[in-house]
Structures are given as C-alpha cells and as structure tokens.
C-alpha cells in the first residue's frame, strides 16, 4: 500500500472517529432514532472508506482451476471404469465362443483371376516363350525370383523322366508395349570349364508407380526334372503359386517365399509335391491347401499378418518296424492361422509338432484325426481345449497337458501371445 493511500485511510478513520457513536442495541436505537428524528445509518464507515477497504476483505471463493481438475478426474475415473467393464465383457464373450469346427478363412484371392491383366493385348516376343536352364548335377540346385511391379502366376509341374534341365514356359503381357521393352532376364552362370555355378532364372520388371493405371503380368509353368534335388521359388512381386495336383514332384529340399507385402499373395500347395524338407512362407497374403510331410515341413507367416489354413498329411512310414517321426513347425504372426493334422489309414508315425505365434493372431490346431498320444507343452495367453488333460505328476515343468496315452511318444508344443484353440 502506498504512503499516500495509507495517509488517506488514516485521515478517513480519524474523521470518522470524531463522528463515531457507539452502535446501540435495538431498544436504545429506537429511542435515539426518535431523538434524531430519523433512522440511524447502519454503515459503520463512510461510503468512501468502505470502497477503499473492500479489496482488503478476505474472500472464500473456490478456485476455478480446482473445479476444472475435479471434473477431469471424475471423467477419467468414469472412462477407466467403462473400459475395464467392456474389456471383461469382451473376454467373457470370447471365452464363451468355442466353435465345433475351425472357422473358414475369408477373402482368399482367386488363383489367377484376382491378379487381373489377363487380357492385356501386348505380349513379350509376341508369343509364349520356352526357357531351359541348366544346373550342376552334383549339387542339383536351382532358384527362381521375380522383381518389380509385375504380377503373375507360377505353377510347378513334374518334368519328363529324361529331362536334365529346368524348363520354363512363360507368357509376359501388358497393356503398354513400352513396358515389355524394359523387362530383363538373368540365367545361370557357367564357368569356363563348363560347370554351372549359379543355376537360376530371374525376371526383373519396371516399377510402375503408385498412380499408374498400366498393368504387367507373367504366367509361368515350371517343369521340375527328376534329377533336381533342391529348389527355391521366391517372388519379390505379387505372385500366385500353386503345385500341379496331377504331378508327382519329389525333392530333397523345397522352399517357397513370397516377399511382397500384399494381401493378394497366394500359395496353394498340394500333396503332389513331396520334399524331405519343405518350407512355405508369405510375408503378407495367404497359404491355403494341403502339404505332405516326408521328414519335416515348416509354414511361416510371422513377418506380417499373413493367413495360413493348411491340412497336413504325413506320408505313410517307409519302415513299419521303426517309423520315423513326422515333424511340423509353424510360426505365425498377426493373421489368422489354422492347421489340421490328417493321419491316413495304416501305421501312424510319431508326431513332433511345434506351433509358435509371435504376435496376437488366433491359432486353431485340429488334431482330432491325428490319433495323438503323448505330451503337450501349452504356453498361451488364452486357450480353449477339447479332450486335453492336465499333467499332474510334476516330473517335468515343460509338459503341461496330455492327450490320449500320456506315456506315448507324440509331442506337441504351443506358444502364443494370443488365443489358441486346441482340438483332440
């Protein structure tokens, strides 16, 4: 408070003090009013002094900030309560849902049709081409790959018994002939001594750009010679791969990998291709069909949200006295996956299966036709099972359940961060 303001207050107080009369009680006040000839003022100070003292009076107003934060806190508590209740209801609903059969996979691309561009008028070389690629007879390996914005189909078929080279029949077409001029091919590398050092067939196509309305497509049928032992089919372009169901292709090792991040990728396997070691993988897209197990088979969609719906058929044991185990590995990601084990008539092979889900995709495992007898290691955040029993002897912490005969040799391992449905 400034000195001038303080002085004015003191003067006002002093002046008021000289005029001050004690405030009487009600009876005395009435007598004084009669003497004074009018009502006494109720103000203890002058109007000027009251105005000057007003800012000094204490107030008990509640802070506006306090009110705002109180409202925010109550809204937050209400929101958390609603979320928790809905989460519990959702979990109970999923828990109650237990389908008798594996749900069908939806939105699967139609082989060839879903790619489009089948009627493009311009063809590379104006016709179907035939390409033969040699391979080294000692290691007997061959690989295929395709790059760019081309799309296409790739069919694997059995080659003639006297074939000693890999044979391709292919058509490349486009609605823009200038795009065909930008196609390039890479073949096997042959050393000066005639040895084939890198047996491959690679197609490189141009990039079309996201706004382009043009199309570029290939259609390949590959004939696998009986002397080929190892084959890797890769595609960095959108591809539909299938095995000819009427063929019988036998290899030591076969791997197919579709790298393109497109839901239009498709692998359609059949039992017609049999490899001691067989592997199928899509980064995004679908694997739907039937695979055989000669020794071991692996299926992978873990690098993205690819979908797998596969029936697994172990071949009959070659040695009835000591049948070799049939090994299955699956590694899945964010997409749906279901695997059905099918044991055909005759002697059953021991089962060794390992299913991992690296993300939160639902996993359905149908072993009802596997005649499974043995131990199960089930490590899943949520799961539902049928005809599965908990291991109670506690001899090994790894094995949590069993189906059929607990002392038998079958082994099944399941690890998932999401939901697992396990049928026996």
pLDDT digits (tens, 9 = 90+) for 177-192: 999 999 999 998 888 8
The whole-number pLDDT of residue 364 equals 96
* Helix, strand, coil % over all residues of the chain, rounded to 5: 20, 40, 40
**∠ CA 241-245-251, rounded to 5°:** 75
- Cβ atoms of residues 387 and 403 within 8 Å: yes
Residue 280: pLDDT band by 50, 70, 90 thresholds?
A: very high
Report whether pLDDT(31) > 80.
no
46-59 pLDDT per residue, tens: 556 555 555 555 55
Report whether pLDDT(317) > 90.
no
Beta strands in 149-247 (DSSP E): 151-158, 166-174, 184-186, 189-190, 196-198, 200-204, 216-224, 230-235, 239-243
Higher pLDDT, 194 or 217: 217
The whole-number pLDDT of residue 4 equals 56
Average pLDDT over residues 123-128: 96
User: Average pLDDT, whole number, for the chain?
Assistant: 86
CA distance 233 to 154: 9
CA distance 227 to 43: 118
61-98 pLDDT per residue, tens: 556 677 777 888 888 888 888 887 776 666 555 555 55
CA contacts within 13 A on the Cβ side of 323:
18
CA distance 9 to 315: 109
134-146 pLDDT per residue, tens: 999 999 999 999 9
The whole-number pLDDT of residue 93 equals 56
CA distance 309 to 292: 14
The whole-number pLDDT of residue 18 equals 47
> 3-class SS at 179?
helix
Beta strands in 93-213 (DSSP E): 122-123, 129-133, 141-147, 151-158, 166-174, 184-186, 189-190, 196-198, 200-204
Q: Quick one: 256 exposed, middle or buried, by C-beta within 10 A (0-12, 13-18, 19+)? A: buried
DSSP label at residue 26: H
Residue 20: pLDDT band by 50, 70, 90 thresholds?
A: very low
Q: How many CB atoms lie within 10 A of CB 329?
A: 16
Residue 397: pLDDT band by 50, 70, 90 thresholds?
A: confident
Structure tokens, 400: 């949590």
Average pLDDT over residues 278-302: 97
Structure tokens, 130: 């035939």
What residue spans of 1-41 are helical by DSSP H?
A: 3-18, 26-36
In the block, which residue shows the tokens 């306090």?
66
Share of the chain above pLDDT 90, in %: 65
> 3-class SS at 297?
strand
Residue 344: pLDDT band by 50, 70, 90 thresholds?
A: confident
Report whether pLDDT(17) > 70.
no
Structure tokens, 18: 């000289």
Out of 53-57, 267-271, 319-323, 352-356, which region has the weakest mean confidence (pLDDT)? 53-57
Higher pLDDT, 36 or 87: 87
Out of 100-114, 192-206, 321-335, which region has the weakest mean confidence (pLDDT)? 100-114
Report whether pLDDT(41) > 60.
no
Q: How many CB atoms lie within 10 A of CB 391?
A: 18
Average pLDDT over residues 370-386: 94
Structure tokens, 354: 């390992």
> 3-class SS at 384?
strand
Structure tokens, 43: 């103000």
Going by DSSP bridges, is the β-strand pair 286-293/266-268 parallel, antiparallel, or unpaired?
parallel
pTM: 0.77
The whole-number pLDDT of residue 79 equals 84
Report whether pLDDT(14) > 60.
no
């Amino acid at each position: 408070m400034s000195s001038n303001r303080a002085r004015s207050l003191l003067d006002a107080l002093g002046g008021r003090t000289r005029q001050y009369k004690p405030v009487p009680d009600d009876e005395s006040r009435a007598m004084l009013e009669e003497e004074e000839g009018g009502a006494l003022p109720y103000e203890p100070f002058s109007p000027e002094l009251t105005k000057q003292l007003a800012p000094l009076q204490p107030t008990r107003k509640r802070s506006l900030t306090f009110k705002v934060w109180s409202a925010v806190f109550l809204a937050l508590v209400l929101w958390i309560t609603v979320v928790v209740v809905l989460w519990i209801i959702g979990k109970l609903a999923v828990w109650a849902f237990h389908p008798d059969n594996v749900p069908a996979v939806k939105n699967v691309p139609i082989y060839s049709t879903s790619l489009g561009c089948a009627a493009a008028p311009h063809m590379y070389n104006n016709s179907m081409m035939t390409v033969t690629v040699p391979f080294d007879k000692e290691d007997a390996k061959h690989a295929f790959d395709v790059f760019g914005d081309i799309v296409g189909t790739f069919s694997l078929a059995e080659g003639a018994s006297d074939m000693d080279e890999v044979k391709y029949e292919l058509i490349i077409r486009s609605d823009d002939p200038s795009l065909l001029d930008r196609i390039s091919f890479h073949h096997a590398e042959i050393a000066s001594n005639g040895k084939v050092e890198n047996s491959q067939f690679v197609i490189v196509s141009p990039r079309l750009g996201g706004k382009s309305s043009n199309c570029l497509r290939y259609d390949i049928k590959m004939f696998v010679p009986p002397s080929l032992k190892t084959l890797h089919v890769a595609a960095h372009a959108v591809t539909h791969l299938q095995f000819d169901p009427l063929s019988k292709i036998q290899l030591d090792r076969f791997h197919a990998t579709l790298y393109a991040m497109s839901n239009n990728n498709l692998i359609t396997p059949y039992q017609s291709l049999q490899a001691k070691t067989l592997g199928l993988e899509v980064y995004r897209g679908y694997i739907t069909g039937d695979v055989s197990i000669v020794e071991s088979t692996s299926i992978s969609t873990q690098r993205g949200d690819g979908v797998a719906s596969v029936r697994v058929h172990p071949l009959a044991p070659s040695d009835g006295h000591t049948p070799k185990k049939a090994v299955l590995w699956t590694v899945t990601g964010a997409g749906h996956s279901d695997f059905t084990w099918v044991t055909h008539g005759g002697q059953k092979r021991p089962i060794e299966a390992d299913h991992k889900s690296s993300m939160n995709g639902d996993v359905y495992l149908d072993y009802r036709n596997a005649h499974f007898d043995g131990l199960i290691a089930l490590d899943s955040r949520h799961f539902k099972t049928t005809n599965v029993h908990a291991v109670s002897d506690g001899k090994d912490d790894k094995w949590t359940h069993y189906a059929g005969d607990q002392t038998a040799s079958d082994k099944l391992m399941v690890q998932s961060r999401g939901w697992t449905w396990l049928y026996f």
